[in-house]
Amino acid sequence: MNKAATRALCATLMLSAAPSAFADKIFVSNERDNTVTVVNSETLEIIKSIPTGKRPRGIVITPDYKELIVCVGDDNRLDVIDTEKLEVTKSYPASGPDPELLDINHKGDRIYVANEDDGLVTVIDRFTGQAITEIPVGVEPEGMAVSPDDGLVVNTSEQTSMAHFIDAKTNQVLANILVDTRPREATFTKDGSEVWVSAEVGGTVSIIDTKSFQIKKKLTFDVSGIRPELMQPIGIRFTNDGKTAFVALGPSNRVAVVDVATHEIKSYILVGQRPWHLALKPDGTKLYVANGMTNDVTVIDVATLKAEKSVRVGRLPWGVAVKPDAK
Amino acid sequence: MCLLPFVLAFAAGASSNPAIPLQVEIGYLGRDYPEPLPISLVEPVITDQGVQGARLGVSDNLATGRFLNQSYHLDEQITPKDGDIVADAKALLQSTRLLLADLEPEDLLRLADLPEARDAVIINVRTSDDDLRGVNCRRNVFHVAPSWAMRADALAQYMAWKRWNTWFLLRGATKEDIHYANAMKRAAKKFGSTIAEERTITFDPGNRRSETGHQQIQAQIPMLTQSPPPHDIVFAADTDETFGEYLLWRTSVPKPVAGTHGLVAVAWHRAYEQYGGVQLQNRFLAMAKRQMTERDYMAWLAARVFGEAVTRSGKADISSLRAYLLSKDFQVAGFKGQGMSFRSWDRQLRQPIILTGPRSLVSMSPQEGFLHQKHLTDTLGIDAPETACKLPG
């Protein structure tokens, strides 16, 4: 065997021997460390800690999984991490001031950014990096989400306690819905018929019909022995089949499991301290929960609803996003 | 932010339908009281405390209101030091009966007891006077400012947690010093601490800028604090900025300091950033071009109390708003990690209290383990069974 052939064979053997070759990459923004931690989903080992701009919070992965976009609020821009190179390769200074949370449409060409200090939603063309428009909303905009058909955008404003619905074609506000105090995240159900809005201080999740813009139902959370004011809903994610919702409950150190059809709270899973935002493994089998106070990520098995492990990341973990291995 | 040129006191016949326009006038009544200069040159001398916070609160209300067809306007009245507060109060009451009162107790009672103010909702954003929540409580006065009792209890719970149970109390000679010191004595008893000695300090403040002032102070403070009984911590009640700033590093026995100086118990502080608080700090800084003081925060919160009540109830008439403020549905968010509401027995806003040093947050009270059947925050201050406030129903 010649040298080149040996090298090729060894490389193949090494690749197949390494479990990480099949692993998804879990990205976690660390608000206090100015980094994004990358974790191997199989070994749960840290692959890399990527330096970013200041105060990284909201993160979203592009539909082609090639880029992770990070709000770096204190630098008033978005940083873009190449998900192969695992480094910041460009930035969008056009994000508007103090970006906190963002979403990208499913077509992958529009980025919607909540500008916390300025009461605006900024719409950015992903390819030119230019701001297309700024949409005035309430005070302290936070949650951002785009509907599955890319037609509707929702933003929440914490101080105004509203969900603002925006027509994605015209960028005009269609409806402003008063929800409970200090709304944080807004998430569309998989079929796009509802938006779920968490209210941190109000302690509820409002379920809003996306046709009528009426609140259909308000979820409240109750764990015996836990003071009601600690039940503070923040992050919301739906399982891939759309039947179950997970709601992170902040200082109660729990994630609620909700039946989407009946709105029944099925169980509460104990995680780390102050669970904040969540993400599902793309194949839908695991849920990753960022715990702000314990500086770790809890891995929950979706089938058994059991917390399996926790992984230490940076300080004040905030957002989570996952890139599947196959992409 | 554009303010409407003409705004009514409140919309007559306002409906609960938010689509019907509501115009809400909020009055701000203050007085140009002589205030002590801060001892430390690091502390800025601020002449517009309070009203700047009210402006931000009204601007926040407007931001929500424009989506609901509700508008807000702030009518500011600052009476000169020797001015006629009663005349100014009457004039303000002509235009609105929703008032923020940045007033000392005597002036606050003058306002509250005017016949024109009978049906007003007045929110106290300044004084911590316990009697205003007790024997001198009024049906038309709500308190966003924490009382002396709440502040002292917040510190006492922390001391209980630290097991710093023996205190050396140093107080100044003003009425407010005596009130805060009394609250500290009550708190010590309530949470299992002892005051080993109470000492009155009358100290000539005038050393702020004198060339050799520091030498004098270096010699004087050990003398003023000499031969104390054994203690864990010094409690300072010096609301007049006379000696408190000088205690740390200079007492005869090396002990930490709490109270009006050292570890302070406050509703807001420039070092506070928890629960999104940094957002309020930033917005205030952008608007006022200075840091947010506790009184700014209290005025901001009081303006938000009115905004929240109008937004949630969809009404702007006085009796609906008063009923809503006292209902179990009312809560206001103020970057403390929980909704805050008014105590029915004395109209005091229940709230977590910040314990902070000069540059960073130390803790927030209530502390873990101090239990209450309804609200943990009711472990701070005067609870229903002990109130001296008798409000007509």
For each of the domains in chain A, give its residue range(s) and CATH number, in order of start.
22-323 (2.130.10.10)
DSSP B230-282: S-SEEEEE-TTSSSGGGTTTTSSS---EEESSSEEEES--TT--GGGHHHHHH
CA A13 to chain B, closest CA, distance in angstroms equals 51
pLDDT at A222 over 90: yes
3-state secondary structure of A234: coil
N-terminal to C-terminal alpha carbon distance within chain A: 34
CB distance A202–B337 less than 8 Å? no
> Binning pLDDT at 50, 70 and 90, where does residue A4 land?
low
Which ipTM value was assigned to this complex? 0.79
Six token digits for residue B192 = 């299992």
Segment B85-139, tens digit of pLDDT: 999 999 999 999 999 999 999 999 999 999 999 999 999 999 999 999 999 999 9
Closest CA of chain A from B209, distance in Å = 38
Mutation for B interface: A54, A116, A139, most B CBs within 10 A: A139
Give the CA angle between residues A110, A115, A120 to the nearest 5°.
Answer: 80
Q: Which of A229, A273, A318 to mutate to test the interface with B (most CBs of B within 10 A)?
A: A229
With 0-12 CB in 10 A as exposed, 13-18 as middle and 19+ as buried, what is A307? middle
Does A13 score more than 90 pLDDT? no
B391 touches chain A (CB under 8 A): no
Alpha-carbon span A229 to A210, nearest angstrom: 29
Question: pTM of this prediction?
Answer: 0.87
* Distance in Å, alpha carbon of A137 to nearest chain B alpha carbon: 8
Q: Name the least confident of A127-136, A222-231, B155-164, B363-372.
A: A222-231
CA-nearest of B183, B207, B206, B204 to B195 is B183
Q: Is the pLDDT of residue A6 over 80?
A: no
Find chain A residues with C-beta within 8 A of B307's C-beta.
none
* The pLDDT value given to residue B3: 35
More confident residue, A89 or B204: A89
| Peptide bond between residue B256 and the one before it cis (omega within 30 degrees of 0) | no
Round to whole Å and give the CA distance between A276 and A272.
10
Q: What is the mean pLDDT of residues A183-207?
A: 97
pLDDT given for residue B19 in this prediction: 59
- How far apart CA B356 and CA A290 sit, in angstroms, is 28
- Confidence check: pLDDT of A260 > 50: yes
- Ranking A85-89, A281-285, B191-195, B202-206 by mean pLDDT, the lowest is B202-206
Tokens of A91: 């930035």
- Measured between CB atoms, does B1 come within 8 Å of chain A? no
Spatial CB neighbours of A76, under 8 Å, sequence gap ≥ 6: A93, A95, A96, A97, A98, A99
What kind and span of H or E run contains A165?
Answer: strand A162-167
Report, as an integer, the average pLDDT of A268-295: 96
Residue ranges of domains in chain B, CATH in brackets: 22-146+269-351 (3.40.50.2300), 149-266 (3.40.50.2300)
Residue type, A101: L
List of chain A residues whose C-beta atoms are within 8 Å of the C-beta of residue B331: 181, 201-202
Mean per-residue pLDDT of chain A: 92
Alpha-carbon distances of A176 from A40, A136, A189, rounded to whole Å: 41, 12, 19
> Chain A residues within 8 A (CB-CB) of chain B?
98, 116-117, 119, 138-140, 157-162, 164, 176, 178, 181-182, 201-203, 227, 229, 232, 251
d(CA A25, CA A81): 13
Which residues in chain A are closer than 8 Å to B376, comparing Cβ atoms? 227, 229
pLDDT of residue A227: 85
Please tell me if residue B376 touches chain A, with a CB cutoff of 8 Å.
yes
CB contact under 8 A, A158 and B337: no
Range 11-70 of B in CB contact (< 8 A) with A: 18, 60, 63-64, 67-68
CB contact at 8 A, A153 and A146 = yes
Per-residue pLDDT, A78: 97
Contact A161 B311 (CB under 8 A): yes
Cα of A222 to nearest chain B Cα, Å: 15
pLDDT band, very low/low/confident/very high, at A12 (cuts 50, 70, 90): very low
Q: Which residues of chain B neighbour A176 with C-beta distances below 8 Å? A: 67-68
Which segments of chain B have a pLDDT < 70? 1-19, 205-211, 393
Show the tokens assigned to A125: 């063309």
Q: Rounded to whole angstroms, how far apart are CA atoms A35 and A51?
A: 4
The CA distance from B239 to B221, in Å, is 18
pLDDT score, position A94? 87
Q: What is the pLDDT of residue B12?
A: 31
